[in-house]
Copies of this chain bind each other. A is one copy, B any other.
Amino acid sequence: MIKTFHLKTVARDQMVEITSLIEEWIYEQQIEEGIVVVSSLHTTAGITINENADPDVKTDMLRRFDEVYPWDHPKDLHMEGNTAAHMKTSTVGHAQTLIILNGRLMLGTWQGVYFCEFDGPRNRKVVAKIVEA
């Protein structure tokens, strides 16, 4: 089972929670147990698992990533000027693998699945693949 999800981001840096999107699809597939790989199809946007409660965490994280990997860098050669977005994507990862138990994602209380836009706004694709086991 593979599904492509289409997202539309609205800012250069944005963490979009997609937990319920993934969980609803798993529920539809009637999978009890297994794993699911959630993957961005882009090199300037990734996937991470992080806090789903206080929205300030997202604000802090995006600003901190921007400090470590500043958008403008005097030595960058890449013509598109978005090397920082490539750095952030390799840092959080293009994809994450999650465990499925009893038809749901096995996440901690505060864990949510986030699509991380680092060079938006853009139309983006996320692919999820379930392995039943």
Q: Please give the residue numbers on chain A whose beta carbons come within 8 Å of chain B beta carbons, in ascending order.
A: 2, 33-35, 37, 39-43, 48-51, 54, 56-57, 59-61, 63-65, 68-69, 73, 75-80, 83-84, 86-87, 89-99, 101, 106-111, 125, 127, 129-133
B2/A101 in contact, CB under 8 A = yes
A68 and B130 CA atoms in complex are apart in Å by 35
Q: State the copy count for this chain.
A: 3
Known: A39-B99, A99-B129. A78 touches B56 (CB 8 A): yes
| Choice from B41, B50, B64, B69 contacting A43 with Cβ under 8 Å | B50
A50 and B43 CA atoms in complex are apart in Å by 5
- Which B residues are in CB contact (< 8 Å) with A35? 37, 129, 131
- Which B residues are in CB contact (< 8 Å) with A92? 90-91
A34 and B129 CA atoms in complex are apart in Å by 8
A50/B90 in contact, CB under 8 A = yes
